[in-house]
Structure formats: structure tokens, C-alpha cells
Amino acid sequence: MYGYPPQQTNRPPSPAPTADSTRYPSLYEHPEFQSLRRSFRTFGAIAATLVVGGFLLYVLLSSFASRVMNRPLAGHLTLGLALGLAQFAVVAFAVWRYTVHMRRRIDPAARRLRAELGRPEPGRAGRERPRVPQEGRFRAW
């Protein structure tokens, strides 16, 4: 279809990393790694619940409590419009708290764990220089 060759599907699926993997034999059982996972997932679940819950509350209020949402606050600004604009602030706050959480708790613990297990930090050592496309190498539209 569309002149593309069919994709090959006879490749075996790549195996998921396990505790007895030869590449990372002790990473998944390491207590600090388990603590990292727990902290990352807990924060992510709380942040997602608050952001999605706030948006769901806004949608439900605008659908079923239109009198409350149409209440004027100042001039043409209604409570519904103010709550809709507040959604941007809630998402921005969640993103800011996520970056602070990662910088203060997750990143230092991940660096300690990498150093303890003797693994290089990704993107630092052995990184290739980016390729610069040469003139006339790509076709025009």
C-alpha cells in the first residue's frame, strides 16, 4: 500500500530487562534504585492526579454549575473564566515542582547510584559530535 515495502515482523521482541540480566545484574535489586523508582512514581502520581483532577473539576463545574461559573468577578471576568485561566497556573506549578523534585531528590540519588555501580553518566562520556549536513545532501520537497 502506498508503494512502501512491507515491514518485517519476523523479528523476535526485545526482552525486558530483568534482575538476572547480564548487562545490569544488580541495578534492579539495588535498594537505592527501588527508592528512586518509588519516589519518582509517587510524585508523578500525585502531580498527575492533582492536575487532571483540577481540570476534571473545572469541566464538571462548567457543565453542571453554570450559574456558579457565570458569576461576575470584575467587569467581564467571570468565575469560570478565572478558573479556566487558573488551569495554566496549576500546570505551570506542577511542572516547576517536578523540576525541583528531580533536581533535589532524584538526580543526586541517580548520580550516587551510577557512581557506586561504576556506570558513566549518559550523554557525558563518549559522546559523538553532531553531524552537520553537507550542502546538496537532502532532496528538495
Domains of the chain, residue spans: 31-117
- Encode pLDDT of 54-112 as tens digits: 999 999 999 999 899 999 999 899 999 999 999 999 999 999 999 999 999 999 988 98
Predicted model pTM: 0.61
* pLDDT on residue 103: 93
Q: Quick one: angle between helices 107-117 and 31-64, nearest 10? A: 150
* pLDDT on residue 125: 54
Q: Among residues of the chain, what percentage have pLDDT more than 90?
A: 45
Q: Predicted confidence band at 48 (pLDDT cuts at 50, 70, 90)?
A: very high
* pLDDT on residue 129: 57
* pLDDT on residue 7: 61
Q: Among residues of the chain, what percentage have pLDDT more than 70?
A: 68
Q: Predicted confidence band at 117 (pLDDT cuts at 50, 70, 90)?
A: confident
Cα distances from 91 to residues 26, 118, 133, in angstroms, run 37, 37, 38
**CA–CA separation, 10 and 13 (whole Å):** 9
Which grid coordinates are listed for 97?
Answer: 515542582
